[in-house]
């Protein structure tokens, strides 16, 4: 809605002047020729009022204070007009006056981004104290995606919480999958965060119904690949004259023998190493993703890799993710490994082949990986069982053959 005519006029009502010579300052709101008076609650000596400039004469402290007060009234009226227009109201002078005094009930309603921004401000305060930077930035990115979606679909800057329904959620999901090209599990992260905000809104009585009640957020099962012992030894023994492949091999193996993710290796610093009273070296570092502390003993192969690159600009010269994954693909081909390997495969390999397969307890592996509970680590244990089962099936086939038993 575009206003065709809106003006604010400050004036003094001389007919109501007091014996002290002061007259009340009033203002007239005019919208499309319709007028509505409003009292400012302030008075000024008649001779101190500048009718042309619609303000108090002089530069003394009292005059400046009164003029700032009048400017604040004007600014609030323009703000209320913008809010009314944004919510689709047809502006009238009386409506604007009521909005100024917060008498328009719908203007008290909470909007989607108002509640989301409140949530994100609280998250920002908690970064490093229960909330990781990664979690906070996902919240910020989700707001950015929602704003783009609302602008595209509704041609608006914001939506009332009461306007959110099942169609809104379905359309946002489609926007993430089609317009932004996200995989199902990537879009799920943003939908879960939106669900959290709506749950908070319902809990605080900002909304009466929850549109997520009838909408199920489903993750697609992800096949986790890890290297078995034979495949891991192939990469350990892999020799290459190409520096880029040698560096990729070393960074990958460091991940295999520490369980650290790409970003945690990239941010690894000397202060993250600690020697105990037995002489054992430990990596003690909070995960960038979750903020949870990981405690990992430095295994010999990982130490050899650190020593190899000692004296460089960085502790470890890890390449960009896209490059390292491309080079890992080449290494897998050269080592005759049929699996699809990415850098994150190294973390899975540490959890399965290096630790769990060597009888390290689930609880210990969970702490080394920086998992918040063993439920996450248990997934690797199931993969180990599956792998053992498949190998035993092959063994049984070998020994069964044409046996008469």
pLDDT score for 89 = 74
Is 223 part of any domain?
no
pTM for the whole thing? Answer: 0.52
pLDDT in tens, 265-290: 999 999 999 998 988 999 999 888 77
Contacts of 146 (CB under 8 A, 6+ apart): 112, 113, 116, 172, 194
Number of separate helices (H) and strands (E) present in the chain: 14, 8
Distance (Å, rounded) from C-alpha 284 to C-alpha 266?
15
Is 244 part of any domain?
yes
Give me the residues of the chain with pLDDT under 70, please: 1-4, 87-88, 105-108, 221-224, 372-405
Domains in the chain: how many in total?
3
Distance of CA 292 to the CA centre of its chain: 17
Of 44, 79, 107, the residue at which a domain comes to its end is: 107
Same domain, residue pair 71 and 117: no
Which domain does 315 fall in, by range? Answer: 229-396
pLDDT score for 105 = 63
Distance (Å, rounded) from C-alpha 337 to C-alpha 227?
9
pLDDT score for 233 = 95
pLDDT score for 90 = 74
Of 66, 92, 107, the residue at which a domain comes to its end is: 107
pLDDT score for 405 = 44
Of 85, 107, 129, the residue at which a domain comes to its end is: 107
Q: What angle separates helix 112-125 from helix 133-154, to the nearest 10 degrees?
A: 170
């Amino acid at each position: 809605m575009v206003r065709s005519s809106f003006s604010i006029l400050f004036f003094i009502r001389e007919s109501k002047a007091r014996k002290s010579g002061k007259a009340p300052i009033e203002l007239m709101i005019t919208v499309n020729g319709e007028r509505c008076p409003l009292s400012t609650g302030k008075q000024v000596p008649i001779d101190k009022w500048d009718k042309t400039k619609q303000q108090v004469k002089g530069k003394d402290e009292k005059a400046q204070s009164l003029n700032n007060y009048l400017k604040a009234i004007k600014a609030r009226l323009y703000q209320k007009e913008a809010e009314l227009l944004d919510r689709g109201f047809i502006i009238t002078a009386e409506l604007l006056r009521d909005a100024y005094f917060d008498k328009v009930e719908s203007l008290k309603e909470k909007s989607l981004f108002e509640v989301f921004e409140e949530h994100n401000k609280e998250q920002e305060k908690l970064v490093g104290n229960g909330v990781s930077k990664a979690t906070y930035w996902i919240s910020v990115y989700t707001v950015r995606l929602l704003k783009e979606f609302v602008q595209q679909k509704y041609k608006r800057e914001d939506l009332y919480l009461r306007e959110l329904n099942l169609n809104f959620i379905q359309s946002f999901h489609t926007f993430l999958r089609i317009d932004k090209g996200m995989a199902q599990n990537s879009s799920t992260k943003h939908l879960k965060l939106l669900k959290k905000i709506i749950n908070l809104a319902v809990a605080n009585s900002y909304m009466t119904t929850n549109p997520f009640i009838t909408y199920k957020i489903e993750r697609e099962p992800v096949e986790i690949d890890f290297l078995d012992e034979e495949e891991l030894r192939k990469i350990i023994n892999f020799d290459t004259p190409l520096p880029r492949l040698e560096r990729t091999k070393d960074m990958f193996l460091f991940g295999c023998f520490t369980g650290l993710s790409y970003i945690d290796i990239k941010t690894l610093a000397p202060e993250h190493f600690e020697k105990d009273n037995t002489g054992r070296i430990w990596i003690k570092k909070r995960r960038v993703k979750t903020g949870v502390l990981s405690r990992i003993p430095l295994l010999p192969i990982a130490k050899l890799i650190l020593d190899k690159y000692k004296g460089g600009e960085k502790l470890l010269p890890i390449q960009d993710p896209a490059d390292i994954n491309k080079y890992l693909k080449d290494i897998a081909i050269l080592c005759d490994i049929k699996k699809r390997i990415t850098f994150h495969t190294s973390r899975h390999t540490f959890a399965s082949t290096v630790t769990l397969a060597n009888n390290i307890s689930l609880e210990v592996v969970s702490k080394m990986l920086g998992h918040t509970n063993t439920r996450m680590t248990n997934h690797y244990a199931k993969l180990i069982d599956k792998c053992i089962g498949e190998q035993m099936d092959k063994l049984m086939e070998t020994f069964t053959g044409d046996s008469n038993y």
